[in-house]
Amino acid sequence: MRISKLMRWGSVAILIRFLSAALGFGLIFVMSKWMTTTQFGHFGFAFSVATTVSLVTDLGQQRLILRSLAAYRERDRPDLMRAVLRYSMAKTAMGALLAVLIIFAFNAVSDMNASATAVALLSIGMLAADFQAHILRGLGSLVGSLVPREIVWRPIALGILALIGGGISILVDANAAIWVLALSLAFLTFIQFLFLTRPRWRAELTNFAKFEEPASGDEETISQSKAGWRASSMRLWAVSAMNSGILPFSVVVVGLFVSPAETGAFFAVVRIAAVIAFPLQGLNLLTSPLLARAYAANDRDRLQSVASFTALWSTAAALAGIAVLAFFGELLLGLLNQEFASSATTQLVVMCGFLIAAMCGSSGQLMNMTGHDREFLRILLIANPMGFASLILLSYLYGGLGAAFGLLILKASWNIWVVFWARRNLGIDPSVAAYLLPLKERAL
């Protein structure tokens, strides 16, 4: 993909993520006005439980299906595309069952103040929506993968709540909000499957019809591939569990130690500060399959070009976001609830962690998309337990502010480590430093 095209689609990805951020802020803004401070805290806690569980029960299938479809498209292997889809769908169904068991078990020992059934349905909806989005991204459909959940879901849910409540000035409890979010997401995910995923999949296989037999020199069998999928799935699952669920998990941890009102404040802080992460997330949505395809083609220059592009633009966007939130962050928190404005310092600390991650670029995605998930897992197994311990201890001692420093430690430690590992072992620098100082000019 040429740089001009990469920039065009990168802009689209960032725009979608910023629209998602605006709608996400709109959701918590409206909920904070429709709920008491205590109910908003209950909502933030239950929503974070559903999000955390959905992220840690994907069994590694989202990254596996994205990487595999992108690589098999590059290699013209529709037979392996079909096989990996069947494999991942079966494993994702197992993950959905695991999500239900975890949520009901958690509710038995720690009351979520919301229906466990509703939280489980929301978690399964998130799991299914994310899995479907990764399929579409692997097939090259960026916009179709994002719009239903990132853009359409929240306005529909708020509209339903307003209709049920009889207007826009209503009182909603956490349980009703979780139910509406869960049901509306399930409906949208089904519609996305009918009108986007299934037609795209069929069209893709039609395009590859002439490649029913493996290409010359590519003799990998489905049985050989399955052995690799099983091993990769376990590693990718561990990576996902220790990485993707950090933010919602931090809200759950804080909620175990402080009052619902303080939990609501920290939930608001994380949701607003996360806008700094959206440019990198948006670019990763675009570039992850490109990294997989470049690596499958053994094109090191293309791999470095895509990684450097991600780092540069994610850093620039993160710096712009920090500048805005440094001036208006307290105001935004106050708009939600005047009691939340005192958490502005906590918000700045969380943002610093996101900035470091943005400067490290697509570090984690580079490891996953190039098949180095085993090495990535080793890094996370060393860095993240210390980070999680810091998060829990600091949350217990200092509440939301302590959790913010715990998040900073978590974000910074493994990202920086991965950058040094990639430079040393892949000859690729995924960080913004690759633009400032070419790798060959720097001592490792």
Nearest to 389 by CA among 402, 373, 375, 374: 402
Which stretches of 193-259 are DSSP H helices? 198-207, 222-243, 246-257
Q: Which two tokens stand for residue 18?
A: 């910023």
Estimate the crossing angle of helix 278-296 against helix 3-34, to 10 degrees. Answer: 140
Cβ(418)–Cβ(364) below 8 Å? yes
User: What CA–CA distance (Å, rounded) separates 85 from 61?
Assistant: 9
Residue 444 belongs to some domain of the structure? no
Domain hosting 230: range is: 3-206+224-436
Residue 408 belongs to some domain of the structure? yes
Residue-level pLDDT, tens digit, the chain, 444 residues: 555 666 676 677 778 877 888 888 889 998 988 898 999 999 999 999 999 999 999 999 998 998 899 889 888 889 999 999 999 999 999 999 999 999 999 999 887 888 999 999 999 999 999 999 999 988 988 889 989 999 999 999 989 988 876 555 567 889 999 999 999 999 999 999 999 999 999 998 888 765 455 555 667 889 889 988 998 898 888 887 887 788 899 999 999 998 999 999 999 999 888 888 878 888 887 888 889 888 888 888 889 999 999 999 899 989 998 998 888 989 999 999 999 999 999 999 999 999 999 999 999 989 988 889 889 989 999 998 988 899 999 999 999 999 999 999 999 999 999 999 999 998 899 999 887 766 654 333
Cβ(137)–Cβ(117) below 8 Å? no
Residue 217 belongs to some domain of the structure? no
Residue 442 belongs to some domain of the structure? no
Number of domains into which the chain is organized: 1
Residue 212 belongs to some domain of the structure? no
Helix (H, G, I), strand (E, B) or coil at 357: helix
User: What CA–CA distance (Å, rounded) separates 325 from 329?
Assistant: 4
Residue 341 belongs to some domain of the structure? yes
Residue 218 belongs to some domain of the structure? no
Is residue 332 exposed (0-12), middle (13-18) or buried (19+ Cβ within 10 Å)? buried
User: What CA–CA distance (Å, rounded) separates 184 from 186?
Assistant: 5
Sign of CA dihedral 359, 361, 364, 370: negative
Residue 318 belongs to some domain of the structure? yes
User: What CA–CA distance (Å, rounded) separates 399 from 130?
Assistant: 31
**345 CB neighbour count, 10 Å cutoff:** 14
